[in-house]
Amino acid sequence: MCELRRHVYANTVDRSAIKKLVKRAFPRCECKKLHDQLRNANRPNENELLDFEETCGDALDSNLEAELQAVELQYQKDVDSRVEELTDDKSTTEEAERFDLTLKLCTDPVENNNSEVKSVDKPFNDSPTDAKTVCDDFKSYSIEHADREQQDQQSTQENSRRVCGGHEVAMITESIVQELDLREESIATLLCYLELHPRRWLEVLQPVKSTCTVKFYGGYPQLRAVAQKIPPIAAAISLNTTTAAGFKKSSTLTFPVVELADKMGWDLAPVCRELRALQWNTSLSLDNSLSNMGQSGILVEFSDLSMHHRAPGDLSDSERDSVCDFLEDRILAEERSQLQQLQFVYDSLKGVSCSEFWQCADAVDEEADKQLKQLVRSYFEDCNDKTKEELAALAKARKGARGIPSSITRDENVNWDIVARDIRALLGVHHDHSFTGRAIARIFHGIDSPCYPAEVWGRDRRFWRKHLDVEFNSLRKFATQELIRFR
């Protein structure tokens, strides 16, 4: 079981890593600030219009008095006609009441018969219980559907109130993997969780190479000439922080193409297409020999494969906290449900299996076979329900308290003094690394990670897979406490 649990704990994430991911995925923008500046700039025009209305109001007062008198006369005529109509309606209602009384007097025996028939039919209407259950199910379904519609309406209203329409963000895969100590597929899964959220926090796009490097064979004169003709190159020069003296000495230009296109309000695909076409634009060449060969003397290269998505940049602090809470709850629910499923499979196979091989070598146990099939079927049917149940329990606990209550219990059978000694020895030997509690627990359990690969750290048998008998979360919490004491 320890070996199988390692695969579950390999996909878990700390809240600090989630905060770093949210900070990188939702960079702050100045859309709200610019919107307020435009609103303040338009206010003087509104004040001028109000002054103009006040000057024109004095000239229109005389005409308004005559119009008001005409409106009062018309209103008086309408009131008189309405009073006449009401008197006619009263007379018609009195006649209708008299007619109803006469009908009741004529239909007394019929009503008695109908009452007898209703008394006979009463047992048949009171008996069915299936209809009640169907109604209850329909009510519960309608309540759930109404809650979902309410959430969707709230999300659409909040998104419509948002000033920022979204910015394209590119995170270099290699750097974000090393920064968060997470695999690429784990980060992609977290981004998909945010995309599938009812509020649709972001939109995942196709991966792109986000860094563009343009090399000019003609040096600075060619770079200056191309910048006067090609807008993306001119925008890249303005975006670059290099001084003018530095540009005169260099013949290359490196810039983030996704950030450039987003700041200028351009689509990414046409910008990349135009940059690639610079290599074959002979009108930009300073050397006639290259232009005769169909080349421009410019080399364009794209590098740094990046995760690409569109996200708003005007999220408030409370919204960022809610995003972190959502991801943390989702990861904890997946961890707990997977551990429960693993334990369920282990107990099921242990209950069906035999202690000795000769007990099942001669004949097939049909009862055990049927039981095992039923267990496998129930496992695949209930896998999603368990995750939903864990999510509901975590959401309820978060609403009731300030944080999620910890379910970690310290095992008294473990010699924690030996564990503390090994942690201090690890920190002393590898003092040049910045460890976390989860990183130390992964090393002691032999779990591979991008910052601590098994090919490198697995060679040191003093620490790798040293404490497989200790529960992972308890070891992680204890390692965090030891790190605080050590520092």
Residue 467 forms part of a structural domain: yes
Whether residues 253 and 330 share a domain: the answer is: no
User: From the DSSP assignment, how many helices (H) and strands (E) are in the chain?
Assistant: 19, 5
Instruction: Return per-residue pLDDT of the chain as tens, 487 residues.
Output: 778 888 889 889 999 999 999 999 999 988 888 877 887 776 655 555 555 455 555 544 555 555 656 666 676 677 667 656 665 555 555 555 654 554 454 444 444 444 443 443 443 344 444 444 444 544 454 444 445 555 555 555 555 577 788 899 999 999 999 999 999 999 999 999 999 999 999 999 999 999 999 999 888 888 888 989 999 999 998 887 666 666 677 788 999 999 999 999 999 999 999 999 998 888 888 776 666 556 788 999 999 999 999 999 889 899 999 999 999 999 999 999 889 888 888 888 888 887 777 777 777 778 888 888 888 888 887 776 778 888 888 888 877 665 555 555 566 778 899 999 999 999 999 988 989 999 999 999 999 999 999 999 999 889 999 998 899 999 999 999 999 988 7
Q: What is the pLDDT of residue 113?
A: 42
* 67 φ/ψ angles, rounded to the nearest 5 degrees: -65, -40
* CA–CA dist 74, 78 (Å, integer): 6
Q: Does residue 114 lie in a domain region?
A: no
Tokens read off for 228: 């006067």
Q: What confidence tens digit (pLDDT) does each residue in 357-390 have? A: 777 777 777 888 888 888 888 888 777 677 888 8
Do 323 and 228 fall within a single domain? no
Domain annotation covers residue 419: yes
- 196 with 269, same domain: the answer is yes
Q: Do 374 and 347 reside in the same domain of the chain?
A: yes
Residues 57 and 178 in one domain: no
- 224 with 289, same domain: the answer is yes
Count of CB atoms within 10 A of residue 463's CB?
A: 19
In-domain check, residue 129: no
Of 400, 433, 456, the residue at which a domain comes to its end is: 400
Q: At what angle do helices 317-352 and 2-9 cross, to 10 degrees?
A: 160
Q: Please check whether residue 135 lies inside any domain of the structure.
A: no
pLDDT score at 251: 85
CA atoms of 157 and 7, how far apart (whole Å): 41
Side-chain-side CA neighbours of 325 within 13 Å: the count stands at 15
Q: Are residues 438 and 368 in the same domain?
A: no
Residues 196, 289, single domain; the answer is: yes
User: Looking at the structure, do residues 183 and 307 belong to the same domain, yes or no?
Assistant: yes
Same domain, 173 and 249: yes
* Tens-digit pLDDT profile for residues 398-434: 776 655 555 555 667 788 999 999 999 999 999 889 8
* Chosen domain end from 400, 427, 450: 400
Residue 189 maps to a domain: yes
Q: Is residue 446 part of a domain?
A: yes
For residue 435, what are the domain limits? Answer: 408-486
- 346 and 450, same structural domain? no
Residues, the chain = 487
Same domain, 371 and 467: no
- The answer to the question of residue 158 being in a domain is no
Q: Which of 254, 284, 311 is the last residue of a domain?
A: 311
Question: Helix, strand, coil shares of the chain as percentages rounded to 5?
Answer: 70, 5, 25
Long-range contacts of 198-201, Cβ-Cβ distance < 8 Å, separation of 24 or more: 198/148, 198/151, 198/152, 198/155, 199/155, 199/158, 199/159, 200/155, 200/159, 201/26, 201/311, 201/312, 201/323
Q: What is the pTM of this model?
A: 0.72
- Domains held by the chain: number: 4
Strands 298-311 and 167-172: antiparallel
Distances (CA, A) of 416 to 93, 411, 480, 485: 92, 9, 13, 15
